[in-house]
Chain A
Amino acid sequence: MTIIYCCYGGAHSSVLACAIHLNLLPQARRPTIKEILKLPGFDRMPRELIGFPVYFGTDNKGNKIYYQGMGRAAKAVKRLLQSFMAIEGIPQQEVYLKDTLKYINSLVRIGGFLSRRLGIVFAGRLLVALGLILAYPRFLQAVNEIKKEIGIA
């Protein structure tokens, strides 16, 4: 199975969801800023690569985990995935697409804007990390629900 976590820029919330899915972050407590900043791919997605799903890892059941930025074209990209799968004869249950944008807060939005758009990387990353720490329980719950749904929790 292929699991794609998607968000606006593919740099923060989807990366966090992938990391939770692959047990790179703690379940019992909130992660530290350092732990978040050390995540592979965190705040790294270049603007010109938005839209391209990036491989993050494979979980213990062999599911491949990707993160993807969809920019303002989220609806179009979701439609593309559906029609692509239909044309190629890929069964619907083979792919799980999860939008992680709804779990973020204003800190993540502002930090992401500062870092990715304005290039104020240091301050932006700190704000994003802080925002994600605050929103962490929601992410944890969402990812654990997915894992339960696909039978790996």
Chain B
Amino acid sequence: MKIIFCSRRISQLTYLAANLLSSYDLNLSFKQQYALLKKEQDFFPGTLQWIKEDKQGNQIYALGLNRSKKIILQALMGYSFIFQRQEGFLVFDLWRFENSYLKCSWSFKRLGAISVAEKLNELGLKKAFPVLKKEIQHLREWLS
């Protein structure tokens, strides 16, 4: 199965979700999970990027979105129908886990204040972590 995590552009939130999904040990603390994250990689909206394979062989992808989220998702659905690839696709929206820390982090990053942005990003991920972990746990159960 192909699991597509969508979020604003492709942020560490996506990688965190992918790690949680593919991790053998879900009991790792936020600090331990955060240490495993790659340096943030930004992509343009619309980019579909392979991240990793989970332990059940599911392929995990990231999809960058922007304000035109609905249009991009409609297009994804349409292309999967046109090319008859609609089976085995699961889209998981991470947008709802974004909080004000993560949003501010983006703004600071744009302004070039990288260290402030990184700190805010860490705080944002920490805040989103418990709910995200719970949701990914449900996803794991559903997938198995």
Contacts and interface: CB of A to CB of B under 8 A. Distances in A.
A70 B70 contact: no
Interface in B39-69: 44-50, 61, 63-68
A68 B68 contact: no
Interface residues of B, number: 28
A49 to B, nearest CB: 7
B83 A76 contact: no
Nearest to B80: A84
A66 interface: yes
- Of B44, B70, B75, B79, chain A has the most CB atoms within 10 Å of the CB of B75
Nearest to A50: B71
Contact of A53 (B46, B61, B73, B75): B75
B76 A73 contact: no
B94 interface: no
A80 B75 contact: yes
Interface residues of A, number: 28
Interface in A49-92: 49-53, 64, 66, 68-73, 75-81, 83-85, 87-88, 90
Contact of B49 (A73, A81, A83): A83
A72 B82 CA distance: 22
A49 B67 CA distance: 16
A83 B46 contact: yes
A81 B44 contact: no
A68 B75 contact: yes
B70 A53 contact: no
A68 B79 CA distance: 11
A149 interface: no
Interface string B72-99: 1111111110110100000000000000
Given A71-B71, A73-B75, A76-B66, 10 more contacts: A2-B82, A50-B71, A51-B71, A66-B82, A75-B46, A76-B46, A77-B72, A80-B75, A84-B48, A90-B83
Interface of A: 2, 48-53, 64, 66, 68-73, 75-81, 83-85, 87-88, 90
25 contacts: A2-B82, A48-B70, A49-B74, A50-B71, A50-B74, A51-B72, A53-B75, A53-B82, A71-B68, A72-B67, A73-B66, A73-B71, A76-B72, A77-B71, A77-B72, A79-B45, A79-B47, A80-B47, A80-B72, A80-B75, A81-B75, A81-B79, A83-B49, A84-B48, A84-B83
Q: What are the nearest 9 A-B pairs in CB distance?
A: A51-B74, A76-B46, A73-B68, A79-B46, A51-B71, A83-B48, A76-B45, A80-B46, A52-B78
